[in-house]
Amino acid sequence: MIKINLFCVGSIKEKFVKEEISEYLKRLSKYAEVNIIETKEVPIQSKQIDAVLDEEGENVLKRIKENEVLLLADLHGKEYTSEEFANIIKVLIDQGKSPLNFAIGGTMGVSKKLRERSNYKLCLSKLTFTHQMTRVILLEQIYRAFKIINNENYHH
């Protein structure tokens, strides 16, 4: 079974968001083994933003092997339709890529290094979303991708 890692900075506090995420993980378990890996949110305080981003990025990068694929949620990335996104996933699976690593940056964004390392930069919307919403949206799109790949009905 295909493995998916979803790297996120920090944890989700609100109970209803946790439940929503659990629901998508349950639905996704039919298609993939999805692990959410919450990395440390680096406090800003006296640090420069770049230093914070670098440290947060490093926490993701050190967990990804050189030959693995990384898909980064990035406001400055490219926008895809759900069908195009599903096709990216399909091609990667067909190429035997596993795990598929997805990453969502922290409050301040993503580091240059993380952006450069990523194989796909996905802009989910021109709108700015909260972290928690980004996590839910990405999980739902991954689920939707599997429904599309498998030609299954998805009543949305």
Q: What residues line the site for its own copies (CB under 8 A)?
A: 14-17, 19-20, 23, 79-82, 85, 107, 124-131, 133, 136-137, 140-141, 144, 155-156
Least separation in angstroms between residue 62's CB and its own copies is 26
Residue 45 Ramachandran class (φ > 0 left, ψ -120 to 50 alpha, else beta): left
Least separation in angstroms between residue 131's CB and its own copies is 7
For its own copies, the closer of residues 1 and 127 by Cβ is 127
By the 8 A CB rule, do 74 and 122 touch? yes
For its own copies, the closer of residues 15 and 62 by Cβ is 15
Give DSSP secondary structure letters for 80-117: --HHHHHHHHHHHHHTT--SEEEEE-BTTB--HHHHHH
In three-state secondary structure terms, 125 is coil
Rounded-to-integer distance, Cα 28 and Cα 19, Å: 14
For its own copies, the closer of residues 62 and 155 by Cβ is 155
Least separation in angstroms between residue 147's CB and its own copies is 11
For its own copies, the closer of residues 64 and 71 by Cβ is 71
For its own copies, the closer of residues 19 and 66 by Cβ is 19
Closest C-alpha to 39, from 105, 123, 127: 105
C-alpha distances (whole Å) from 152 to each of 23, 94, 146, 148, 155 are 18, 18, 8, 6, 10
Least separation in angstroms between residue 16's CB and its own copies is 4
Least separation in angstroms between residue 82's CB and its own copies is 4
